[in-house]
Amino acid sequence: MFRRTDLAGKPEVPARLTEVEAVERRTAIGHGEATIHTVEHLLAAVAAHLIDDLTIELTGPEPPILDGSVQPYFDALAKAEPASVGGEPAVLTVTAPFTVTDKDAAYVVAPAKTFRLTVSIEWPHPLIGRQAGAYEVT
């Protein structure tokens, strides 16, 4: 969850796929004035540390860019002291394949024993073209 403390009412923006706005070369979540830009490196560090309940307070429309990588966020979270909020996290289990599409983007989700990502992007420029990669998160 992101909280914009610089805006009236301190609006909260959940870090969910349904909150993603269409922007180029970055990830933005939220709507209107409460939109938060360039969240991908911070959220990658949160995921790498297996953090499942977090509120990030911001005083502007995007987290600090730092050195442009995930590393400063990863290091800061490694030094942070976790606080228990009680209860058990909700665990989602994929039992059958499904696809989520939005315009020319598609997310295909299928059951697997490990967390695997296969990603691709296609640019119209002939020198860039289609690029793809496969990763297993351990």
Q: What is the CATH number of the domain that holds 37?
A: 3.30.230.20
Of 37, 52, 79, which residue sits at a domain end?
79
52 is a domain residue: yes
Q: Order of strands, edge to edge, in the sheet holding 36-37?
A: 20-21, 28-29, 36-37
Distance CA 53, CA 50 (A): 9
Query: Is residue 9 domain-shared with residue 50, that is, in the same domain?
Result: yes
pLDDT in the model for residue 80: 92
pLDDT in the model for residue 91: 80
Domain containing 39 equals 2-79
pLDDT in the model for residue 86: 79
Distance CA 3, CA 51 (A): 17
pLDDT in the model for residue 24: 78
pLDDT in the model for residue 30: 92
**pLDDT, tens digit only, all 138 positions of the chain:** 999 999 999 999 999 988 988 677 788 999 889 999 999 999 999 999 989 889 999 999 999 999 999 999 999 999 998 887 778 877 888 999 999 887 788 888 999 988 888 888 888 999 999 999 999 988
Query: Is residue 56 domain-shared with residue 123, that is, in the same domain?
Result: no
